[in-house]
Amino acid sequence: MAVFDKKNIIKKSENFSEWYTNVILKSELADYAPVKGCMVIRPYGFALWESIQSFLDKLIKEKGVKNAYFPIFIPEKFLQLEKEHVKGFAPNLAVVTIAGGEELKEKLIVRPTSETVMYAMYKKWTQSWRDLPILINQWNNVVRWEKRTYLFIRTSEFLWQEGHCVHTTHKENLEMVNWALGAYEKTYNDLMALYGIPGVKSEAEKFPGGNQTLSYEILMPDGKALQSCTSHDLGQNFAKAFDWTVLDKNGQKLYPWQNSWGLSTRSIGGLVMAHGDDQGLVLPPAIAPVQIVIVPITQNPAIMKFCADLQKDLKMENLRVEVDVREEKSAGWKFNEWELKGVPIRLEIGSKEIDSGELTVFRRDEKSKSKIPPPAGGLNVKKIIKDLLEEIQINMFKRHKKFTEENTHDVSSYNEFKEIMETKRGFIRAFWCEGPDCERKIKEETKASTRVLPQGAKEEKGTCIYCQKPASNRWFFAQAY
Amino acid sequence: MAVFDKKNIIKKSENFSEWYTNVILKSELADYAPVKGCMVIRPYGFALWESIQSFLDKLIKEKGVKNAYFPIFIPEKFLQLEKEHVKGFAPNLAVVTIAGGEELKEKLIVRPTSETVMYAMYKKWTQSWRDLPILINQWNNVVRWEKRTYLFIRTSEFLWQEGHCVHTTHKENLEMVNWALGAYEKTYNDLMALYGIPGVKSEAEKFPGGNQTLSYEILMPDGKALQSCTSHDLGQNFAKAFDWTVLDKNGQKLYPWQNSWGLSTRSIGGLVMAHGDDQGLVLPPAIAPVQIVIVPITQNPAIMKFCADLQKDLKMENLRVEVDVREEKSAGWKFNEWELKGVPIRLEIGSKEIDSGELTVFRRDEKSKSKIPPPAGGLNVKKIIKDLLEEIQINMFKRHKKFTEENTHDVSSYNEFKEIMETKRGFIRAFWCEGPDCERKIKEETKASTRVLPQGAKEEKGTCIYCQKPASNRWFFAQAY
């Protein structure tokens, strides 16, 4: 009988980066593709993405935004219309030069993002204010060629959704930009049990071609921040670049206002990093493809029947339950494998459980066992299991929030700033004058960049952590993925 | 007030091809992309694709097949491993030669289909029979560069699902190939109200690199056939090309058996062609993004309230209902637009309806009006509407089946064959000796190719329609998209 290959799982505390890759490969979330920098998302990992899609798509549709599909290829000249935009993306483009056996007259860019091709169409579809707003989203794949890649976190191809809405006023535009960030925050909090800091990006860190970028920054266990999504106020920049106007109610020409917002498969990387432990994945119940695994201790018919009945009962409550019926694996091997796969609850069923009517429950988040009093099965068990799943979900979110708060440092001297970044890292809250020079030097000297100015932050009086000049806002800094 | 621009809709009977393009553009299903041969699927068209996805994905998951994601790029050398495969796809490839600002050492093919990149991974993941079957599907975009394109029917990029399963025996493999065709047939029949002929492709028409291809052939109103999906028994061909073996139960090396099966956005083209009429789209209720539109005849508050209440009632029955509240358009304009959009049922609400309690119902498939007796609203209306939607769905399928049967010709002389293909077209059932020469010559002389040998066809005695030699099967022939 195969022994579960535990030795090869590197400890999270010993080598975080290797642990991360290890867990993803061994839990079969993903694998390296034969094309450098690309990944294969395996069924267990893709089920996580399907959960995210289903949760977020519902919010998107409730907002009245509809899905569509725009082509993967963008004519090179389109990308060049918005100067900042092309500058930002040029180093990472993949280019098709041959198609149908012939050299193309005009090269085609594999989309790194779809602003340009979408706005070219929007321009064609709109004449007056009556044709606005346009509320469109698409779920697709994009390519940004990367030298150094990291499973889920940074890959040359990734999956995401990109919302692209257009309005007649800046106010409506901002409302949508904020709505999108709120939808992302809800997805992270309620589905993925991840806490983060919503806020505004600095000029240097914002989207190329946009006016303002919002982001939700999530702290990882190694003290680095993950930019987990973005929502951009693009102003009228692309409308002007495309010479796109519509007639307003008074018959005057108006440049429409655009916004775009995206959340990608990178989110799964954050989920793995933040919650996982030395035994592997730890999945929040709301997103877990399998919420409960029932493991028969031995394979006798009475036990197998009990397991099947229990599964049926729990499935009727819309819970995602599996019974591990494999004959060739021991119960211990199965325990380890399902722990690696991060399944929130394990029920261990042996003859003792059947005789006593008392069930043994293992919860993955706390790695603790408890008993469900008799009768084993029926209403009692269903209610206790459902409550426990909810408790685990809340516990995991609270734990991550606590971790983030404990690793957020209010800092007022640059020496302290440097020391923190050299040792424990984490978020630093510090005054910054908002000058690009200070921002650049801090990054050069500490690898920490500005992450966000938190939403709703109140102006205060202070001095810049770097240049000591007056500053009125405390920004979040961190080293970032 | 704008007059609905009806004049520009070309009649289906006058110019089928222009009518088709016209209807797609005007009903806003899709538009031409700025990249030659590519299309933009607009929200109304994408909603159809979402319906197809949701219907088919459910069947796929019930079969135990799980979704995953493989990279869009395939190393050139992978595609070359299977000789027939590369020969079949070479003329239509799009090739990335530059990425991240550098000329690539190895060119990357934008996937035309994913057999090669998937099997390379499958090989890595499997050691023994215990690792099989592999049951994986992916929903994605693929690129096959085309000189002549046609909205939905043939575009250089299209969306599809591609299932790729692997088994230890040929029997299991064939079972899956047949299952997939059955799932497609169910999707066409029950969701899209389209009838077709399931069967086996000839050697010349099968998938490059496969052993046998099944297809569902659907007859279009112009008498041409649409190959609406395919399901391939790939045998062990790719396993051998990739030198991929697993150990069987006796510890012997075994080449795994593969199958692949796909259904694409082409299906939407078939849906539009088969059901549409001079007024535009006609959508079967099961797939229609809007099943019922409520049009207030005038915009007085009592009427608007009545419409809103009725919408609420119908929504509670899980029906997809919209009220057209636009003030700037006349009721007549709205009637025309919703007819163009193919909405199955229209309810017209004026003060007469409110006073009498009798509702006016327009059904799109028959272009006929009827009355729902009082009381207007409540249980009565809900039941009648639901029954009517079912009736429309069945009626549309029956109509298409009848059309197909009426345009299927049993032919025993080649002169008759030619005459039919020169005039009315349609399906021809005729004996064929299964020799590639006859098949090629028939195609050269009549533009008709073999479509399928129908599933379950019994061997008969006959003579080949072309060479008069003995033949034992009646094949379906047609000109094809």
Those residues with Cβ within 8 angstroms of residue A448's Cβ, 6 or more apart along the chain or in another chain: A417, A421, A428, A442, A477, A478, A479
Strand order in the sheet with A292-296: A321-323, A292-296, A345-349, A359-363, A368-372
Residue B434 has pLDDT above 70, yes or no: yes
- Per-position DSSP letters for B337-367, written without gaps between them: HHHHTT-SEEEEE-HHHHHH--EEEEETTTT
Q: Which of B50, B99, B120 has the CB atom closest to A94's CB atom?
A: B99
Residue B72: closest C-alpha in chain A: A157
Contact A94 B94 (CB under 8 A): no
pLDDT, residue A87, reads: 86
Q: Which of A43, A68, A72 has the CB atom closest to B136's CB atom?
A: A43
Residue B379 confidence class, pLDDT cut points 50, 70, 90: low
pLDDT, residue B378, reads: 59
Q: Is the dihedral of CA B297, B298, B299, B302 positive or negative?
A: negative
**Mind listing the domains of chain B with CATH numbers?**
17-275 (3.30.930.10), 292-404 (3.40.50.800), 408-478 (3.30.110.30)
Which of A72, A102, A160, A249 to mutate: most B Cβ within 10 Å? A72
pLDDT, residue A379, reads: 59
Residue A13 has pLDDT above 80, yes or no: yes
Residue A2 has pLDDT above 50, yes or no: no
Residue B3 has pLDDT above 70, yes or no: no
% pLDDT > 90, chain B = 88
> Helices in A114-224 by DSSP H: which ranges?
115-125, 170-186
Residue A157: closest C-alpha in chain B: B71
Highest mean pLDDT among A7-16, A217-226, A323-332, B351-360: A217-226
Residue B41: closest C-alpha in chain A: A69
Q: Tell which wins on pLDDT, A277 or B378.
A: A277
pLDDT, residue A378, reads: 59
Residue A377 has pLDDT above 60, yes or no: no
Q: Which of B70, B97, B101 has the CB atom closest to A98's CB atom?
A: B97
Which of B53, B73, B117, B337 to mutate: most A Cβ within 10 Å? B73
Residue A85 confidence class, pLDDT cut points 50, 70, 90: confident
Contact A31 B143 (CB under 8 A): no
Contact A71 B157 (CB under 8 A): yes
Q: Tell which wins on pLDDT, B238 or B373.
A: B238
Which of B36, B40, B92 to mutate: most A Cβ within 10 Å? B40
- Give pLDDT tens digits for A132-144: 999 999 999 999 9
Contact B157 A72 (CB under 8 A): yes
Strand order in the sheet with B292-296: B321-323, B292-296, B345-349, B359-363, B368-372
pLDDT, residue A356, reads: 86
Alpha carbon dihedral B157, B163, B165, B171, in 10-degree steps, equals -110
pLDDT, residue B376, reads: 60
Residue A68: closest C-alpha in chain B: B43
> Helices in A235-292 by DSSP H: which ranges?
237-241, 266-275
Which of B60, B69, B98 to mutate: most A Cβ within 10 Å? B69
Contact A157 B50 (CB under 8 A): no
Residue B405 has pLDDT above 70, yes or no: yes
Residue B352 has pLDDT above 60, yes or no: yes
- Yes or no: say if A142 and A158 are a contact pair by the CB < 8 Å rule: yes
Contact B101 A78 (CB under 8 A): no
Residue B217 has pLDDT above 90, yes or no: yes
Report chain A residues whose CB lies below 8 A from the CB of B70.
33, 40
Residue B2 has pLDDT above 50, yes or no: no
- Give pLDDT tens digits for B145-172: 998 999 999 999 999 999 999 999 999 9
The pTM assigned to this predicted structure is 0.96
In this structure, the strands spanning A345-349 and A292-296 are parallel
Residue B374 confidence class, pLDDT cut points 50, 70, 90: confident
Contact B141 A140 (CB under 8 A): yes
pLDDT, residue A83, reads: 82
Residues in chain A: 481
pLDDT, residue A3, reads: 43
Distance CA B184, CA B449 (A): 22
Those residues with Cβ within 8 angstroms of residue A456's Cβ, 6 or more apart along the chain or in another chain: none
